[in-house]
Structure 1
């Protein structure tokens, strides 16, 4: 259950990052509320996962999902550059997160 919570926490992290971008473009209270809910849910689920998982592993995977997911969302939703080099480094981040899972 901790791994599922950690993955969902990473997805909430991605959502929170997307809401930062939305809030930057549209200054309204809905974007702010969604940003707070996204990051709040992310931190709560991360804290729950860390009751079972080692802190270093949980944090690395959480940030890996958030960072790579945020970059992918930027490419898909906001027209950011889709260079093959970016995709290689995103794959490296995800590969490192999977590697941590395998050795934990």
Structure 2
């Protein structure tokens, strides 16, 4: 259950970043509500996950999930560059997160 909470915390972090992007571009209240709700849920789930997963591992997985998810959303939704080096380093972050899960 802690691992599930951690994955959802990372996904909520991604939606919070989408909220940041929306607020910075459109200044809409819906994006502000998305930002606040997403980061509240993300931090709450991360806090819960840390009760059963070591802090360093949980934080690394959370930031890795948020980084990879935000980069992918940027590339596929917001038209950011999809060059091979960027994809390579995103893959390396993902492999590191899986490695931490295997070791824990």
Q: Which runs of 5+ in 2 are unaligned?
A: none
Q: How does 1:1-104 map to 2 (within 5 A)?
A: 1-104=1-104
Superposed CA RMSD: 0.5
Per-residue Cα deviation, 1:40-98 (whole angstroms, up to 9, x for no partner): 10000000000000000000000000001100000011000000110000000000000
Kindly report structure 1 stretches of 4+ aligned residues shifted beyond 6 Å: none
- TM-aligned CA deviation for residue 29 of structure 1: 1.5
- TM-aligned CA deviation for residue 31 of structure 1: 1.0
Q: Within 1, Cα distance between the matches of 2:83 and 2:23? A: 26
**What is the TM-score when the length of structure 2 is the normalising length?**
0.98
Count of residue pairs the alignment pairs up: 104
**What is the TM-score when the length of structure 1 is the normalising length?**
0.98
